[in-house]
A and B are shown apart, each in its own frame.
Chain A
Amino acid sequence: MPLRRLFAATSVAFLAVLAISPAKNVLRPYRAIQRRYFALAASRAKSLKEARGFARRKVAIQQLWLRDFDDRVDRCSTCHLGTAEASMAGAPEPFRLHPKTAHTPGDFDRFGCTSCHGGQGLATEREDAHGTAAEAGPPMTPLPLAEAGCGRCHFAESVADAPMLSRGRALLEKEGCYACHTVRGHESFRSQAPPLSTESVKTGGAWLKRWLRNPRAVDGNATMPDFQLADKEIDALSNYLFSVAPPRELAPRISLAESEPAGDAAHGKKIFSEARCISCHTVEGKGNGSAPELSKVASAATRGWIHAFLRDPQAFNPRTRMPRYHFSDGESRDVVAYIESEFRDFDAPADMLAPVHVNLTLAEAGQRIFRTAGCVSCHDPKTGERFGPDLNGIGDKKATSLDFGRRRELARTLPAWLAAKVDSPRSFAAGLKMPSFELGPEDTRAVVTALLSLAMEPPPEKYRVAAPSAVAPLPGGAVGRLFDRYRCLSCHRVGDRGEDVSTAPLTFEGSRVKRDWLVDYLVVPYSLRPILEERMPVFRMPREEAAQLADALETFFLDPQVPEDPFAGRPASDADAGEGQRLYVTLGCRACHILGSSGGYYGPPLTETPKRLKAGWIDSWLKGPKRWRSDARCPNYGLTDTDALRLTAYLESLPPAAPSKGTTP
């Protein structure tokens, strides 16, 4: 009897255990979610047939099989059912239509969801799939940082439709992160920070100490971050820097410049503004800000140093972006006289430029700090050496492997850790070396986005999108030396090289402007776009050099798709030009362009078009202004070939400007 009872009890228990498996499935939350979705979709459907279709659908796991990505399976669409359903625009989560992007909805089947968003594709419960459960795998990238996903395949610095990622990558470059951290594709990065070999004859102990205390407090444009040095370290470093003897080829230049008579400050002022120094520098905050603020520079450096530097900045710092102007001795003297008279810190102590009397013990200690604090990484970069940890794969770090140190209050996630590291790197533990960049929340977020895009493993070969390489080889020889001397690439892009300060990349300059105009322009540049702070400096370039440069641009920097003669041998008639004029008015070109005495300030003035622009280029531009710059604002009017030619004919037929050309602002 008791045996029978025991048998009955175990049978019931066995059945109960058997029932668990189907019960577990029936009770999964996704079933209820799918039923809710079908009801919602049916109610939003455009037709009765569609609605019935939804009502008939069966509850089932949905999945995408990603053959190219290690045969991964994404089941996100089990709950996110409306991602490709147009009627689900604006529906509540998890049913919302996925915003249209370059890859959605077209590439759902190839990429799935996790390739961009991260998370656990195989899981079918919310916390597991999103990776928020304690024991789940790596979590999803938070939506505000979602552009990190774009960066896992797109390796270019600037990625279209991913402004946050592009900004983050630009910041990593600008802040000099690559000087200390290894990141694939940036191994050849070198900081533009100057070698510190002439400090002893450049500045004084008081100024140097201020600078080392916090460079960005001295100059808002400073690229050097705050190393939070202790007073003792600052003292040692100052002693070390003053113990370094200036190189033999620079010392006499500085002392010679020091001994020269003072120039004419009023004339210097004129040259200073012509030279457009504020295309890079600022004066009391006005200017581009990619080079030092100048309003107190005479209290930061000696007259001789400033003068010798101005004459040949590249001898002082081979990595500098500063061009070598063609000032005569008298002219540079005048500019320095102006700087000496105006750009002073009138509150500075009198001994600002007094040298440090070097204590050798301290200097030795300073030399050690110079190495151990990482100063060398920027100021004396050696190939292959990187001071900080390798950042490749940082975007795939597991949160459990991160050292949160003192920051116990932080959420235990990679994005939170990265944000805190970027924002206040020293707050994790004592003795950490990364300096503080004071980026602010928006920039920090952009940098974290860029960091999260650095994956452990690159995507499959065919999904990698490298930087577009329209590599135009730079000219060598004499022209190459001119490019180098005037540092054209500090502002202009050539192919994928150079910086994008100027609105005019030089890659196809020869197809764009006429040679003779270019020679005149290089000798005495004027402002094509008066609204821009950054304008072409007057280098005082000799005419022969200008001709040499213009010839090279005319010969080699060509766009093969721009025709030499768009009229194909049949010159435009007056009637065509007349039609073109009518088009100019009806299209509203004057909203942005000045022609004659009126027009907008946005595009370049067109009065001088026949002298400046080539007909072939105008015609090509009108048919597709975005061909040369994706950020061109000039609208594409969808002109027919005939109309584009007529407008070209009109612009090329404009009468030469009246001699009062000097009024161009």
Chain B
Amino acid sequence: MRRPAIALAVILAVAACRRPAASRRASASVAAEPSYELRMGKSVFQHYCQTCHGESGAGDGFNAFNLDPKPRDLSDPAFQKSKRDADLEDAVRRGGNGVGLSPLMPPWGHTLSDQQVAEVVLYLRGLRR
């Protein structure tokens, strides 16, 4: 008779220490926010890349028609598939000249930090159409 009573006392005591689930309503607020890295990557892209590569990455920025060869269509799925992140980062850092392509794509390795290069590549990956 006594043992269940003790067990009950212990359970009750422990339960009393547990906090009632106070806020089930919180946590609904943060929906699909783009990550910090993605937001930073977007701002780098808009600032440095968009004039030639275009808003959607299709190579149709307003300065593109002055360039020959034309800027790469970054949103092309085949292109995206053929390059690893490291390749893209390398091309951003060393520019067209560095990777054996047109010198009209400048090297950004002395302008952008490694972190920024990684962020802009992360953003490029989302441009795939």
Contact = CB atoms under 8 A, between A and B. Distances in A.
B110 A20 contact: no
Contact of A12 (B9, B47, B107): B9
Contact of A600 (B35, B63, B107): B63
Interface stretch (A78-86, A319-327, A585-593): A585-593
Contact of A586 (B35, B47, B66, B97): B97
A249 interface: no
Contacts of B14: 20, 23-24, 27
A16 B110 contact: no
A586 B23 CA distance: 62
A590 B13 CA distance: 78
B104 A591 contact: yes
Interface in B11-54: 13-14, 17-19, 22-23, 26-27, 29-30, 33, 35-37, 40, 43, 47-48, 51-52
B17 A20 contact: yes
Interface stretch (A468-476, A493-501, A547-555, A634-642): A634-642
Nearest to B13: A20
A601 B33 CA distance: 35
Given A132-B26, A599-B66, A587 B17 contact: no
B25 to A, nearest CB: 8
Interface string B48-74: 100110000000001100110000000
B107 A637 contact: yes
Interface in A9-56: 12-13, 16-17, 19-20, 23-24, 27
Interface in B52-103: 52, 62-63, 66-67, 95-97, 102-103
A127 interface: yes
A633 B18 CA distance: 57
A27 B105 CA distance: 59
A217 interface: no
B111 A636 contact: yes
Interface residues of A, number: 45
A13 B2 CA distance: 12
Contact of A587 (B22, B35, B97): B97
A594 B15 CA distance: 76
B63 A144 contact: no
Nearest to B49: A633
B106 interface: yes
Given A12-B6, A143-B33, A638-B110, A591 B67 contact: yes
Contacts of A220: none
Contacts, number: 106
A607 to B, nearest CB: 15
B103 A601 contact: no
B30 to A, nearest CB: 6
A542 interface: no
Contacts of B97: 586-588
A16 to B, nearest CB: 5
A125 B111 contact: no
B110 A100 contact: no
B63 A601 contact: yes
Contacts of B115: 100
A411 interface: yes
B66 A600 contact: yes
Nearest to B51: A602
B103 A134 contact: no
A594 to B, nearest CB: 9
Contacts of B67: 591, 600
A161 interface: yes
B19 A125 contact: yes
Contact of A16 (B13, B43, B107): B13
A23 B11 CA distance: 11
B30 A586 contact: no
Contacts of B48: 633
A169 to B, nearest CB: 17
Contact of A127 (B23, B29, B47, B62): B23
Given A16-B13, A17-B13, A144-B30, A636 B110 contact: yes
A590 B66 CA distance: 9
B117 to A, nearest CB: 12
A587 B108 CA distance: 12
A116 to B, nearest CB: 12
A133 interface: yes
A163 B67 CA distance: 31
A612 to B, nearest CB: 21
Given A13-B9, A591-B52, A599-B66, A99 B17 contact: no
A130 B37 CA distance: 23
Contact of B6 (A16, A586, A602): A16
A635 B26 CA distance: 45
A635 B108 contact: yes
A145 to B, nearest CB: 11
Contacts of A125: 19
A587 B106 contact: yes
B89 to A, nearest CB: 15
A585 to B, nearest CB: 7
B8 to A, nearest CB: 10
Contacts of A467: none
A587 B102 CA distance: 10
Ranked nearest first, the 8 interchain pairs of A and B with the lowest CB-CB distance are A588-B103, A591-B104, A636-B110, A132-B26, A638-B110, A635-B106, A133-B22, A600-B66
Given A12-B6, A591-B106, A637-B106, 15 more contacts: A13-B9, A16-B6, A16-B13, A20-B13, A24-B17, A99-B37, A101-B36, A127-B26, A132-B23, A142-B29, A587-B97, A588-B95, A633-B48, A635-B108, A637-B110
25 contacts: A12-B9, A13-B9, A16-B13, A19-B10, A24-B14, A27-B14, A99-B35, A100-B115, A125-B19, A127-B22, A127-B26, A132-B22, A134-B22, A531-B62, A588-B105, A588-B106, A591-B63, A591-B67, A591-B104, A600-B66, A601-B62, A601-B63, A631-B47, A638-B109, A638-B110
Interface of A: 12-13, 16-17, 19-20, 23-24, 27, 99-101, 125, 127, 130, 132-134, 142-144, 146, 161, 163, 411, 531, 585-588, 590-592, 598-602, 626, 631, 633, 635-638
